[in-house]
Amino acid sequence: MKKKYSLSKKEIIRSKESFERILKNGKRFARGHLKVFVRSGSKRRIGFTVSSKAGKAVVRNKIKRWLREIYRKEKYVLNDNVEIIMLVDGFDNKMNYNTLKEVILDIFREINENI
């Protein structure tokens, strides 16, 4: 079966209740300014949030674009039944797309081992 490397609207978590449920009941994985909360669910879904501590709106939107793109390309590394919230609460000027990708892949591997 061919894999679809798209990010559908059904995969994205938008409701406040879902965010709060995952943040409260999920398992936490952290690397620097990136925190990932994971909870078992019925299907693979993801939510993104970037704190205002990360910078102005332009920087926050760039970080969210990076997160969505990395997840879109690497989501098949994860198990199928997980709900994830990626939270960035700061921004390092040393951080770029490739370093963020390495950190996220490392967290994804740890998630698969622990969930």
Task: Classify residue 3: in a domain, yes or no.
Answer: no
Task: Classify residue 2: in a domain, yes or no.
Answer: no
- What pLDDT, in 10s, does the model give residues 36-58? 999 998 899 999 999 999 999 99
Strand 82-88: give its sheet, edge to edge: 27-31, 34-40, 82-88, 45-50
- How many domains does the chain divide into? 1
pLDDT confidence band for 105 (50 / 70 / 90): very high
Write the CB contacts of 8 (distance below 8 Å, at least 6 apart in sequence).
Answer: none
What is the CATH number for 62? 3.30.230.10
pLDDT, greater one: 7 or 93: 7
Q: Is the pLDDT of residue 10 over 80?
A: yes
Task: Classify residue 51: in a domain, yes or no.
Answer: yes
Q: Is the pLDDT of residue 79 over 80?
A: yes
Task: Classify residue 1: in a domain, yes or no.
Answer: no
What residue numbers bound the domain in which 66 lies? 9-114
